[in-house]
C-alpha cells in the first residue's frame, strides 16, 4: 500500500504514476551543532522507508563531549540573551509548523496543530523564565555577623535528558527548554515512540540561534543508552521521564558514583498541557545548584 | 628623605636564623580546664524512643571512649534493627498523631522552646560534646553551641511560614526522617537536621555517630523535658548496621546523612528506587586560594582555621592551599610562625586550640596519609611540640611542594594537615581548585573585588568564603556540588529537602 | 649588611624597604583579636600577666589641671604602685606634658622609672613643624627619656605619606638618645589598611615604638587595631632585623583589657616583646584595677578602691 502525500507535509514516498522520484531524508543524530550519522551504522526503520540512527555508546560519548565544550560559554551567556535565543527558537518553530505538524501526525500524535501551539507557547514561556529564575531563587541571607552572604542558583552543566515519549514535541520542548533556559546544556535521548519529530525539532534548533553543543539529540535504544548516560562522570544531571520503577532504581544506583543530580518523572499528557504546572519555576530548579558567597563588611 | 617605593611589599620579608619569633614560656598560661561536674554525664546511655530512654531490645552496651584519654567513660546501647523498628514506629505514630495534628505555629513554639532550653544548657552540652568528641571546649562553647541554638531558633520561625517559601507551591511534610550523623559535629549536625525536619512537620529518628552519641541523646531528652510529644525526636545509637537498618527501613520517608562521600554513595544506592527523599552532606578536600594582593595576615588566620579548626576534621576543611607563587615563601613562613602558637592538648582546657582526632582509626589514617605525602616527595613541617602521652593526638602539619597528583591533594585528610600548592594565574588557580570530584566549599583571599566575583563564579563549590573561612549561619544555605552531596541545609533553600511540593506528585 | 646596619640604613632612608603595605581585612583582624581575648588566664598566669602589665605601664596624666604636686604623687605611685610594703613592681614610665617633665624627673630620681612626655604639638600634632621639633628637643633637654609624638593624620589622609615620614625623622633626630613613640591616632585613619600603611611609614621613619592613640579620640586601642600594629612590627622585624616596640593606649581601663593586650603581643610577636623595653600599656586609670585584681588573687577576696593608695 502506498501513502498519499498530505497537504501539510512532504511526500513520504514517490507515487508510482508520478514522473519525479522524491527525495527521501536521511535522518541523522544532532551533535555539536552538526548532523552526523550514527557511529555504529545501526538504524531503526521508521516506516515509509525512512530510518533513524541507533546511537551507540560512542555517539553518546561524543555528544557529552560536545555538550561539555559548549557548557562554559552557555552558562555565562547572559540570561537575557539565553531568553532571546529561546524566543528565536520559537520563531523558527512557528515558521516550520507545516513540517513539524506532518512529523507529529506521522508519529501518531492525535492533534498535531494543538500540540504545536502548546509547544511553541511553552518555548516562549521558558524564554521568559531565563532571566527570572535567579530573581526568585536567589537570597541575601541575613547572617548574624558583619558579612554579606548571598546565594544564587547556578546551572550544573551537562544534563542528560531522557525525553518523555508522549507528547512527542510538547514533552520534548517542555523538558529541554527549562534545562537550557537555566544555563545547562543537554544531551537528549529522544522518546522512542516518535524519534523523527525529535530530529525534526533538532533541525529547528540547528537553524535557530542556539549555539552548537547546547543541545544534542540522539535517537536510539533507551535501554542501551540511558545506563551509559547515568554512569558518565561528565554528565552532572539526569532528567529521566517515563522510567519504570526497576529502571529508576538501577539508574539511581548508577548515578551514585558521580553523585549525579537525578529526577524521575512520568506525567500524563494532560500534565504537559497544563501550562501553570508545566512552566512553573520548579521545572528550572531541578538542575540548578545553589552557590553561596560570603564576604566580610568593613575596611 | 624617606623613599616610598611601591612593589615588593611583603615578599621582601626575609627570614634567617637570627630573625625568629620565640613563642616560649616567658609568660606561660596555666592549665585552665573546664569543670565536668555539670556535664549531665551518666554511666549508661540507652536509645531514646517514644519520649524515654529504652534499653536495647536485643543488643548490649558498648564502651564510649574519650578521645583525649582513649579510655571508656560511658556505656552506650548498641541498638539493633528491633530498636530501629520501634523508633520508626514511634515516629510514625507521632507524625500521624500528636505532632501531625499540631497547628504550624504550635509546632514552631515547641522548637522555640527547645532553642531556649539549649541556650540555657549550653555549658553542660559543650562539656559533654568535648568529652565525647575531643573537640576543644573553646569550639564547643563558642562555635557549636551558639550555632545549635540559632539553627533551632531560626527554623522554629519557619514552621508557620512554609507556604510562603516555595513560590506559590504548597509544601507538605514528608513523614518520618531518618538522619545519620557524623562524629565531627555531633550536636550541631543533629540540630541542622532536626530543626528543619521538625519545622516542616516531619518526625525524626536520628542515629548519632558510633563514637559520639551522647549529645544527640541528651538533646532528645531535653526536647522531651520541654514538652515535645513522645516519638517526635528518637535517637538510636549504634554502628553502621543500625544506620543501614534505619535508612533502608520501609517506614522512613526521608534520609539525611552527613559524612563521607563513600558512605553517602552506599546510602544512595541502598535507598535507590524507594521513593525516599535524600539529603546528603558529604566531604571532599576544599580549596583555599591566596592571591598575592590578599590581606596576607588575615589570610593566614583563614588558612589556619580552614586547615586546623577541629583538628581539620571538618567536611569543608580547607586542606588544599593554593597560594600564588610570588608570595608562597613569605606566606608559608607566616603560616609556620602562626602554627607555632597553636596550643595542642587537653580539649577541656579553655586555651587548647587543637585537641585529639576523633578515634584511633582516624589517627591511623592521618598518620598513613602523612607518610604517603613524605613518600611522594612533599616537604613536611610539623610543629615541634610534645603531644600528650595518652589520647589520639596529631601535631599540626604542613606540606609544601605538593603536586595535584599527590594523595594529600586529592583525598580528604580529616586531620590537622595542610597541603600547599602554588599557582601563577587566576585561570590556573581555578583549574587546580576544580581539579577534584568534590565541590563543597572554597576560600578566596584577594583584595580585588572583580577578581573575587569572577573566581566565585568559576569555582565549583557550594559555598565560597571570600576573605573569610568557616562561616556558618542558619539563614545561609550550606552544601556541596559534584560528589560533595545533594541538597542544601539552612536558609530558605534548605527547607526543600524536608517537604513535598505539589509537582513532586 | 648586619641587622643593625640595615636598621640604621632604613632609618636614614637609604634603603627602599617600604613596599606596598598589605591590605587588611578588618573583620578578620577583629575576629582574630577577639579570639585572643578568650584566652583563659587563671591563678599564676593571671598574677604573672598582671605584674607584667604593671611593669609595662606608662602611667599617664594628661590633664589641664596637672600640677607638679599631682605629678609627684603619681611618680610615688609609679615607683611603688601597691605601697611601700607591697611587692608590686614599678611601672615602666610616667607620661606627662612637657611642662611637667622637670617635676617628674625630680620625683623619679633614683628610681628606674622613666620619664615620658607627649611632645610635638600633642594631641593635635598640627602646630608648625619647627615648633613640634623644638618642643620635643626641649622635653628631652628637660629630662624626658621618651617622647610620644602624634603624626599629622591630615597629611597622611591627603596622601602626603612621605611628609609624615619626614616629620617623624626630624622629631626622631631631635630626640637624640631619647626613644620616640609614634602615635598613629588610629581612630582618625578611617580603615585598617590605612592603619597598616601608617604603621609602615612610622616604622621606616625610625619609630622606636608604635602607639595606637592619644587617648583623646575614640575608638582608641581596640584589640583589632592593636593587632594590625603588631603585625606591621613583626613584618618590619623580619625585613630589617630591628625590633620596634608597641604601645596600645587609650581606653584600656580594666585588668581584663590589659591581659587581652598582653595575649595579643605574646601570640603575635612572642616572648621577646613581653618586656617593658619593647612593650608598653598607656593608661591613666588601669593601674587601680590591676592592683585590685592582684589583691584579689593574693587574698582571695574582692577588694575595693578605698583600700588602695589614693593617688
Cβ atoms of A205 and A212 closer than 8 Å = no
- Backbone phi, psi, residue B502, to 5°: -60, -35
**Domain A29-287 CATH assignment equals 3.40.50.1100:** no
Q: What is the pLDDT of residues A123-133, one digit of tens each?
A: 999 999 999 99
- pLDDT at residue B167, as a whole number: 83
In tens, the pLDDT along B67-87 reads: 998 899 899 999 999 999 999
Interchain contact, C38 vs B350, CB within 8 Å: yes
- Within a domain: C21: no
- Residues pairing with A158 in the sheet: A185
CATH number at residue B370: 3.40.309.10
Of A147, A296, A299, the CB nearest to C191: A299
Computed over every residue of chain C, the mean pLDDT equals 92
pLDDT digits 0-9 by tens, C274-290: 999 999 999 999 999 99
| Exposure class string for A81-101: b at 16+ Cβ within 10 A, else e | ebbbbbbbbbebbeebeebbb
Nearest to B302 by CA among A151, C25, C260: C25
Mean confidence (pLDDT) of chain B: 93
Nearest CA among A184, A181, A205 for reference residue A33? A205
In whole angstroms, give the CA distance from residue B463 to residue B466: 10
Query: Where do the H-state alpha helices sit in C37-111?
Result: 43-55, 68-79, 101-107
pLDDT at C40 over 70: yes
Do C192 and A299 count as a contact with CB atoms less than 8 A apart? Answer: yes
Q: Is C26 close to A296, i.e. CB distance below 8 A? A: yes
Q: Decide: helix, strand or coil at residue A185.
A: strand
CB B21 within 8 A of CB B340: yes
Task: Tell me whether residue B281 is one of the annotated catalytic residues.
Answer: yes
- Residue C305 within any structural domain of the chain: no
Residues C212-244: tens digit of each pLDDT: 999 999 999 999 999 999 999 999 999 999 999
Q: How confident is the model at residue B333 (pLDDT cuts 50, 70, 90)?
A: very high
For residue B418, the enclosing domain spans: 284-475
Q: Which domain holds residue C233?
A: 31-298
- How confident is the model over C108-164, as pLDDT tens digits? 999 999 999 999 999 999 999 999 999 999 999 999 999 999 999 999 999 999 999
Name the CA radius of gyration of chain B, rounded.
Answer: 23
Nearest to residue A202, comparing CAs of A168, A234, A249, A226? A168
Mean pLDDT across B367-389: 93
Q: Which residues contact B371 (CB under 8 A, 6 or more apart)?
A: none
Selected residue of B297, B299, B338, B351 to mutate for chain C interface (largest C Cβ count, 10 A): B297
User: Tell me, what's the pLDDT at C311?
Assistant: 62
Which residues are bridge partners to B10 per DSSP?
none
Contacts of residue C221, defined as CB under 8 A and 6 or more positions apart, other chains included, come to C186, C212, C213, C248, C249, C250, C251, C252, C261, C282
Q: Mutate which of A249, A251, A282, A294 to test chain B, going by most B C-beta atoms within 10 A?
A: A294
Which residues of A are less than 8 Å from B477 in CB distance?
139, 141, 151, 290, 292
Residue-level pLDDT at B285: 83
pLDDT higher at B256 or C82 = B256
pLDDT at position C308 is: 75
Question: Do B251 and B329 have their domain in common?
Answer: no
pLDDT at B464 (0 to 100):
98
Question: Is residue B38 domain-resident?
Answer: no
The residue ranges of DSSP E strands in C130-191, in sequence order, are 146-150, 179-183
Q: Establish if C5 belongs to a structural domain.
A: no
Strand partners, B321: B288, B420
Identify whether residues B290 and B257 lie together within a single domain: no
In eight-state DSSP terms, residue B78 is -
| C211 in active site | yes
Q: Are B388 and B450 in contact (CB under 8 A)?
A: no
Nearest CA in chain C to B335: C268
Q: How far is CA A104 from CA B402, B457, C221, in A?
A: 59, 41, 78
CA distance C174 to B297: 34
pLDDT in tens, C64-91: 999 999 999 999 999 999 988 899 999 9
Q: Which residues of C touch A296 (CB under 8 A)?
A: 25-28
pLDDT given for residue A233 in this prediction? 96
Is 70 exceeded by the pLDDT of residue B168? yes
For A145, the closest chain C residue by CA position comes to: C27
CATH of the domain at B82: 3.40.605.10
Contacts made by residues C216-219, CB under 8 angstroms, sequence distance 24+: C216/C123, C216/C250, C217/C123, C217/C185, C217/C187, C217/C188, C217/C250, C218/C187, C218/C250, C218/C251, C219/C186, C219/C187, C219/C251
* ipTM of the prediction: 0.95
Structural domains in chain B (count): 2
Question: What's C248's domain CATH number?
Answer: 3.20.20.70
How far is residue C3's CA from residue C238's CA, in Å, rounded to a whole number? 10
User: What pLDDT, on the 0 to 100 scale, is given for residue B2?
Assistant: 42
Q: In this structure, are residues C105 and C143 in contact, taking their beta carbons and an 8 Å threshold?
A: yes
Write the burial class of residue B411 (CB in 10 Å: 0-12 exposed, 13-18 middle, 19+ buried): middle
Same domain, B253 and B334: no
Interface check for A259 against chain B (CB to CB < 8 A): the answer is yes
Stretch 133-152 of chain B: residues touching chain C, C-beta under 8 Å: 138, 142
- What does the radius of gyration of chain A's CA atoms come to, in whole angstroms? 20
pLDDT digits (tens, 9 = 90+) for C160-208: 999 999 999 999 999 999 999 999 999 999 999 999 999 999 999 999 9
Rounded-to-integer distance, Cα A217 and Cα A239, Å = 14
**Any domain includes C18:** no
Query: Is A144 near chain C, with CB under 8 Å?
Result: no
Contact between residue B236 and residue B206 where contact means Cβ atoms under 8 Å apart: yes
Supply the pLDDT for residue C8: 47
To which residue does cell 552526523 refer? A36
Tell whether C61 is covered by a domain: yes
Task: Report the alpha-carbon angle C154-C155-C158, nearest 5.
Answer: 85
Same domain, B229 and B291: no
pLDDT band (50, 70, 90) for residue B503: low
Which residues neighbour B95 within 8 Å (Cβ) at sequence distance 6 or greater?
B173, B175, B176, B202, B203, B231
Task: Report if residue C304 sits inside a domain.
Answer: no
Number of domains in chain C: 1
Q: How is chain B split among helix, strand and coil, in percent rounded to 5?
A: 40, 20, 40
- Do B314 and B410 lie in a common domain? yes
Nearest chain C alpha carbon to B334:
C235
- Spans of chain A below 50 pLDDT: 1-7
**Structural domain contains residue B107:** yes
pLDDT digits (tens, 9 = 90+) for B199-246: 999 999 999 999 999 999 999 999 999 999 999 999 999 999 999 999
pLDDT at B10: 44
Nearest to C24 by CA among B406, A79, B294: B294
Amino acid at each position: 500500500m502506498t501513502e498519499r502525500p498530505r497537504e501539510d507535509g512532504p511526500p513520504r514516498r514517490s507515487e508510482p504514476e508520478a514522473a519525479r522520484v522524491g527525495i527521501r531524508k536521511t535522518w541523522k543524530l544532532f551533535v555539536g551543532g552538526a548532523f552526523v550519522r550514527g557511529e555504529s551504522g545501526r538504524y531503526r526503520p521508521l516506516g515509509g522507508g525512512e530510518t533513524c540512527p541507533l546511537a551507540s555508546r560512542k555517539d553518546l560519548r561524543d555528544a557529552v563531549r560536545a555538550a561539555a565544550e559548549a557548557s562554559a560559554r552557555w552558562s555565562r551567556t547572559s540570561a537575557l540573551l539565553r531568553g532571546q535565543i529561546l524566543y528565536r527558537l520559537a520563531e523558527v518553530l512557528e515558521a516550520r509548523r507545516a513540517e513539524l505538524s506532518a512529523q507529529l501526525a506521522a508519529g501518531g500524535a492525535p492533534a498535531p496543530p494543538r500540540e504545536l501551539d502548546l509547544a511553541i507557547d511553552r518555548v516562549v514561556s521558558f524564554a521568559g523564565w531565563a532571566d527570572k529564575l535567579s530573581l526568585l531563587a536567589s537570597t541575601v541571607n541575613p547572617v548574624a555577623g558583619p558579612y554579606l552572604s548571598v546565594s544564587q542558583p547556578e546551572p550544573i552543566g551537562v544534563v542528560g535528558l531522557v525525553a518523555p515519549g508522549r507528547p512527542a514535541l510538547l514533552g520534548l520542548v517542555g523538558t529541554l527548554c527549562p534545562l537550557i533556559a537555566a544555563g545547562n546544556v543537554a544531551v537528549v535521548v529522544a522518546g522512542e515512540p516518535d524519534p523523527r519529530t525529535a530530529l525534526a525539532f533538532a533541525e529547528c534548533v540547528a537553524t535557530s540561534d542556539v549555539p552548537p553543543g547546547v543541545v544534542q539529540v540522539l535517537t536510539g535504544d533507551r535501554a542501551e543508552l540511558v545506563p551509559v548516560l547515568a554512569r558518565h562522570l561528565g554528565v552532572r544531571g539526569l532528567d529521566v521521564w517515563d522510567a519504570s520503577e526497576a529502571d529508576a532504581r538501577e539508574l539511581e544506583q548508577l548515578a551514585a558514583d558521580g553523585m549525579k543530580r537525578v529526577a524521575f518523572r512520568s506525567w500524563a499528557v494532560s500534565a504537559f498541557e497544563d501550562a501553570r504546572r508545566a512552566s512553573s519555576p520548579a521545572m528550572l530548579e531541578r538542575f540548578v545548584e545553589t552557590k553561596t558567597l560570603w564576604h566580610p563588611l568593613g575596611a | 628623605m624617606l623613599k616610598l617605593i611601591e612593589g615588593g611589599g611583603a615578599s621582601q620579608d626575609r627570614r634567617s636564623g637570627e630573625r625568629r619569633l620565640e613563642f616560649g614560656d616567658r609568660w606561660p598560661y596555666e592549665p585552665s580546664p573546664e569543670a565536668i561536674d555539670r556535664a549531665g554525664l551518666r554511666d549508661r546511655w540507652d536509645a531514646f524512643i517514644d519520649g524515654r530512654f529504652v534499653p536495647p531490645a536485643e543488643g548490649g552496651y558498648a564502651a564510649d571512649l574519650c578521645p583525649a584519654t582513649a579510655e571508656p567513660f560511658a556505656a552506650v546501647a548498641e541498638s539493633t534493627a528491633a530498636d530501629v523498628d520501634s523508633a520508626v514506629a514511634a515516629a510514625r505514630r507521632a507524625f500521624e498523631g500528636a505532632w501531625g495534628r499540631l497547628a504550624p505555629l504550635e509546632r514552631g513554639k515547641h522548637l522555640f522552646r527547645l532553642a531556649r532550653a539549649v541556650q540555657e544548657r549550653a555549658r553542660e552540652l559543650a562539656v559533654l560534646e568535648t568529652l565525647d568528641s575531643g573537640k576543644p571546649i573553646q569550639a564547643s562553647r563558642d562555635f557549636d553551641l551558639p550555632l545549635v541554638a540559632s539553627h533551632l531558633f531560626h527554623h522554629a520561625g519557619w514552621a508557620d511560614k512554609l507556604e510562603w517559601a516555595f513560590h506559590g507551591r504548597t509544601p507538605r511534610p514528608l513523614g518520618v526522617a531518618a538522619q545519620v550523623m557524623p562524629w565531627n559535629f555531633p550536636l550541631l549536625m543533629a540540630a541542622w537536621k532536626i530543626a528543619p525536619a521538625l519545622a516542616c512537620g516531619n518526625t525524626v529518628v536520628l542515629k548519632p555517630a558510633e563514637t559520639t552519641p551522647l549529645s544527640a541523646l541528651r538533646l532528645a531528652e531535653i526536647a522531651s523535658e520541654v514538652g515535645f510529644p513522645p516519638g517526635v525526636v528518637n535517637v538510636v545509637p549504634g554502628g553502621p548496621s543500625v544506620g543501614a537498618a534505619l535508612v533502608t527501613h520501609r517506614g522512613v520517608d526521608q534520609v539525611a546523612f552527613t559524612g563521607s562521600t563513600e558512605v553517602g554513595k552506599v546510602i544512595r544506592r541502598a535507598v535507590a528506587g524507594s521513593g525516599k527523599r535524600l539529603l546528603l552532606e558529604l566531604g571532599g578536600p576544599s580549596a583555599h586560594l591566596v592571591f598575592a594582593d590578599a590581606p596576607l595576615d588575615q589570610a593566614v588566620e583563614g588558612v589556619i582555621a580552614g586547615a586546623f579548626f577541629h583538628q581539620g576534621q571538618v567536611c569543608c576543611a580547607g586542606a588544599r592551599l593554593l597560594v600564588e607563587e610570588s608570595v608562597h615563601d613569605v606566606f608559608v613562613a607566616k603560616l609556620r610562625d602562626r602554627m607555632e602558637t597553636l596550643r595542642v592538648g587537653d580539649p577541656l582546657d579553655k586555651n587548647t586550640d587543637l585537641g585529639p582526632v576523633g578515634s584511633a582509626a582516624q589517627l591511623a589514617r592521618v598518620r598513613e596519609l602523612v607518610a604517603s605525602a613524605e613518600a611522594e616527595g612533599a616537604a613536611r613541617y610539623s610543629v615541634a611540640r610534645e603531644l600528650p602521652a595518652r589520647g589520639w593526638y596529631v601535631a599540626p602539619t604542613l606540606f609544601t611542594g605538593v603536586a595535584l597528583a599527590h594523595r594529600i591533594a586529592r583525598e580528604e585528610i580529616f586531620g590537622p594537615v595542610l597541603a600547599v600548592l602554588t599557582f601563577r594565574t587566576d585561570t590556573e588557580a581555578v583549574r587546580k581548585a576544580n581539579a577534584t570530584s568534590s565541590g563543597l566549599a572554597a576560600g578566596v583571599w584577594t583584595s580585588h573585588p572583580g577578581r573575587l566575583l569572577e573566581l566565585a563564579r568559576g569555582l565549583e563549590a557550594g559555598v565560597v568564603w571570600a576573605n573569610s573561612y568557616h562561616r556558618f549561619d542558619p539563614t545561609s544555605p550550606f552544601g556541596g556540588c559534584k560528589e560533595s552531596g545533594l541538597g542544601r541545609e539552612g536558609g530558605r533553600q534548605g527547607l526543600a529537602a524536608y517537604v513535598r511540593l505539589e509537582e513532586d506528585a | 649588611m648586619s641587622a643593625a646596619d640595615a636598621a640604621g640604613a632604613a632609618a636614614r632612608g637609604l634603603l627602599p624597604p617600604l613596599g606596598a603595605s598589605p591590605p587588611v581585612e578588618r573583620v578578620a583582624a577583629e575576629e582574630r583579636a577577639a579570639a585572643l581575648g578568650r584566652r583563659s588566664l587563671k591563678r599564676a598566669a593571671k598574677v604573672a600577666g598582671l605584674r607584667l602589665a604593671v611593669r609595662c605601664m606608662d602611667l599617664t596624666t594628661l590633664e589641664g589641671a596637672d600640677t607638679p604636686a599631682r605629678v609627684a604623687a603619681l611618680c610615688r605611685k609609679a615607683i611603688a604602685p601597691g605601697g611601700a610594703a607591697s611587692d608590686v613592681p614599678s611601672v615602666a614610665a610616667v607620661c606627662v606634658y612637657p611642662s611637667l617633665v622637670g617635676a617628674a624627673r625630680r620625683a623619679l630620681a633614683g628610681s628606674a622609672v622613666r620619664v615620658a612626655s607627649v611632645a610635638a604639638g600633642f594631641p593635635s600634632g598640627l602646630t608648625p613643624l619647627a615648633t613640634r621639633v623644638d618642643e620635643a628637643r626641649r622635653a628631652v633637654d628637660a629630662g624626658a627619656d621618651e617622647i610620644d609624638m602624634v603624626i599629622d593624620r591630615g597629611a597622611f589622609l591627603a596622601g602626603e605619606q612621605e611628609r609624615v615620614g619626614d616629620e617623624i625623622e626630624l622629631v626622631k633626630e631631635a630626640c637624640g638618645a631619647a626613644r620616640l613613640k609614634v602615635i598613629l591616632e588610629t581612630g582618625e585613619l578611617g580603615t585598617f589598611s590605612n592603619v597598616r600603611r601608617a604603621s609602615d611609614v612610622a616604622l621606616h621613619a625610625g619609630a622606636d615604638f608604635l602607639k595606637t592613640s592619644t587617648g583623646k579620640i575614640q575608638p582608641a586601642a581596640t584589640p583589632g587595631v592593636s593587632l594590625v600594629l603588631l603585625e606591621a612590627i613583626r613584618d618590619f622585624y623580619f625585613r630589617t632585623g630591628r625590633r620596634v616596640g608597641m604601645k596600645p593606649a587609650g581606653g584600656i581601663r580594666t585588668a581584663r583589657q590589659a591581659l587581652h593586650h598582653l595575649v595579643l603581643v605574646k601570640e603575635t610577636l612572642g616572648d621577646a616583646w613581653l618586656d617593658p623595653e619593647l612593650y608598653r600599656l598607656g593608661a591613666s586609670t588601669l593601674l587601680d584595677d590591676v592592683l585590685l585584681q592582684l589583691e584579689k588573687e593574693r587574698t582571695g577576696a574582692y577588694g575595693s578602691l578605698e583600700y588602695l593608695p589614693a593617688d
